[in-house]
Structure 1
């Protein structure tokens, strides 16, 4: 079990008309990614994408890094050993979407760094420029930038 971040936003947003028992609110506090090599993941998320590191810590043999991503934190967790992490190779259909500014510049930095590009820079049907890449552990990361009418949303 990972300790909750003291920086976690504790506000409770209103739920729909029906309350779901057991749900304490509707705000997302952390997106937690299990990683094989925390240093390599920090080079991607902090060094390449520019997310600020809120803090790093060791917790019961786990190496943790909390990254600022707006109202929610991205929590990178390296287990004491890979065999203690049965979820690492079960990414399923997970795609992490980050909005960025000046996606063409970000795309150039990503390409020149050797990151695996899963789908080239393109204009999506919903009015955003997008670039789909793989992080060091193979998680799909969609970088997007609203354009035109989509920007007003």
Structure 2
């Protein structure tokens, strides 16, 4: 059996605030937006890549402290840090350099989930 990652679901309190973070700030394109069983859902991501699924809800299925994070890769970590700073988003942790080929930092999304931004060289 061959598997491929399709999406990661985040249940969010305010869909529009989270959509602004993932689409406007991180730059993920909106793949589609729809309603299912009375809940608003947005799929974000680049064609051919796994998606982030945001589902509007009042209770988070995962709490931010559960240890789950979403990771993205950038070409320049310094440029990414400057971009977040210019948008008023503070670095929550890092930057960290665990080995000579990897540097990363974390920011928090509107629900407190860690979003890792990494640069591989």
TM normalised by structure 2 equals 0.86
Larger strand share, 1 or 2: 2
C-alpha distance 129-90 of structure 1, shift in aligned 2 (>3 A): closer
**Structure 2 residue 52 is the aligned partner of structure 1 residue 74:** yes
**Structure 2 residue 106 is the aligned partner of structure 1 residue 132:** yes
**Counterpart for residue 17 of structure 1:** none
**Counterpart for residue 58 of structure 1:** 35
Which structure 1 residue ranges, 5 or more long, are not aligned?
1-11, 14-25, 148-153
- State the shift of 1:86 in Å: 5.2
Contact 2:64 2:113 in 1 (8 A): no
Which structure 2 residue ranges, 5 or more long, are not aligned?
none
**Structure 2 residue 75 is the aligned partner of structure 1 residue 101:** yes
Alignment of 1:81-96 (within 5 A): 82=58, 85=59, 87-89=61-63, 91-96=65-70
Contact 1:35 1:88 in 2 (8 A): no
Contact 2:64 2:111 in 1 (8 A): no
Instruction: Determine helix, strand or coil for the equivalent of 1:117.
Output: coil
Instruction: Determine helix, strand or coil for the equivalent of 1:124.
Output: strand
Instruction: Give the Cα–Cα distance (whole angstroms) in 2 for the partners of residues 35 and 122 of structure 1.
Output: 28
Instruction: Give the Cα–Cα distance (whole angstroms) in 1 for the partners of residues 24 and 119 of structure 2.
Output: 20
Instruction: Determine helix, strand or coil for the equivalent of 1:33.
Output: strand
Kindly tell me the number of residue pairs found equivalent between the two proteins.
120
Give per-residue Cα distances to partners, 1:122-151, cap 9 Å, x unaligned.
Answer: 43326212111111100011100102xxxx
Structure 1 segments (4+ residues) deviating >6 Å = none
